Amino acid sequence: MAEGRSYLDSLLNLESLRKSLVRQEDTIIFSLIERAKYPINSTLYDDDKPPAHLSDSLFHFLLKESEALQAKAGRYTSPEENAFFPDKLPSPLLPPPDHTPVLHPPGAAININDKVLNLYLKTLLPLIAADGDDRNYAATAASDLNCLQALSRRIHFGKFVAEVKFRDAPEDYTPAIRAKDREALMKLLTFESVEETIKKRVEKKAMVFGQDVDLNENDSNGDYKVDPTIVSKLYGEWVIPLTKSVQVEYLLRRLD
């Protein structure tokens, strides 16, 4: 138990949280590369024409059932994890770990996965997957789940970042929180140079991770498994703004 506390305490500074965000980039980019192996496979997502015996799409079914299974194994006892279908999840079979909560409870409950799911299905998928249908639905949905969980974890990590920023400078954040001034909070928590570095680094990682490795050639042929500019755009237009919006929402609840 003391061990658990010191582990969480060691995570609680901006530098180590940022290191974790950098590491999460690898997971996100590899999961996108995996999903890009399959064509778009629209039939998988079609809620209007579900397969026999199902009331929703096969994708919906797989996501919900996977979350139910993972909930039993305790996935959602972790404050880093947020379910896409949090209603009526089964209870964990084991007692939750005995950690002192790091997050302030009203903010810990924030879940914007409806936005994450919508963004993923409507905007990101058409950008990374080729047109077509190879009927490889179960494998496609499994790789969707990996992408969604990695993106969701990254975006909701904003709660930890906000908690640390608040603890580091409560005197700066408190007036804006009391005034419910979203704009002022956004300004306080934004570090533009950090964001610029991230956008450049994820583009470079997508180049490095997404090329074929050929022992006979030194240079890549310029073919990447996921377009690096799309990864940079994903971060610049969606991942970073959503992480910041989680931070603002968290801070607004920080004094409740």
Ligand X SMILES: C=C(O[C@@H]1C=C(C(=O)O)C=C[C@H]1O)C(=O)O
From 40-48, 49-57, 169-177, 187-195, give the range in contact with ligand X by CB under 6 A: 187-195
List of residues 6+ apart from 248 with CB closer than 8 A: 162, 182, 185, 186, 189
Shortest distance (Å) from residue 197 CB to ligand X: 9
Distance (Å, whole) CA 189 – CA 196: 15
**Single-letter residue type at 189:** L
Please answer whether residues 132 and 35 qualify as being in contact, where contact means their C-beta atoms are separated by less than 8 angstroms. Answer: no
Binding mask 75-94 for ligand X (x = CB under 6 A): --------------------
Work out whether 191 is an interface residue with ligand X (CB under 6 A).
yes
Instruction: Tell me which residue has its CB nearest to ligand X.
Output: 243
Instruction: State in angstroms the smallest separation of the CB of 156 from ligand X.
Output: 11
Q: Does 18 bind ligand X (CB under 6 A)?
A: yes
Residue 169 contacts ligand X per CB under 6 A: no
Q: Is 198 in the site for ligand X (CB under 6 A)?
A: yes
Query: Does 161 help bind ligand X (rule: CB under 6 A)?
Result: yes
Distance CA 48, CA 43 (A): 10
Contact status: 194 vs ligand X (CB under 6 A): yes
Residue 182 binding ligand X, by CB under 6 A: no
Whether 224 and 207 have beta carbons less than 8 Å apart is answered as yes
Q: Is 150 in the site for ligand X (CB under 6 A)?
A: no
Q: Which of 147, 240, 246, 251 binds ligand X (CB under 6 A)?
A: 240
| 230 within 8 A of 142, measured Cβ to Cβ | no
Residues 197, 204: Cα–Cα separation, whole Å: 11
CA dist., res. 125 & res. 119, Å (int)? 9
Residue 244 binds ligand X, judged by CB under 6 A: yes
Please report where in the chains the tokens 């305790």 appear, as a residue: 74
Q: In the complex, which residues of this chain contact ligand X (CB under 6 A)? A: 18, 21, 161, 189-191, 194-195, 198, 240, 243-244
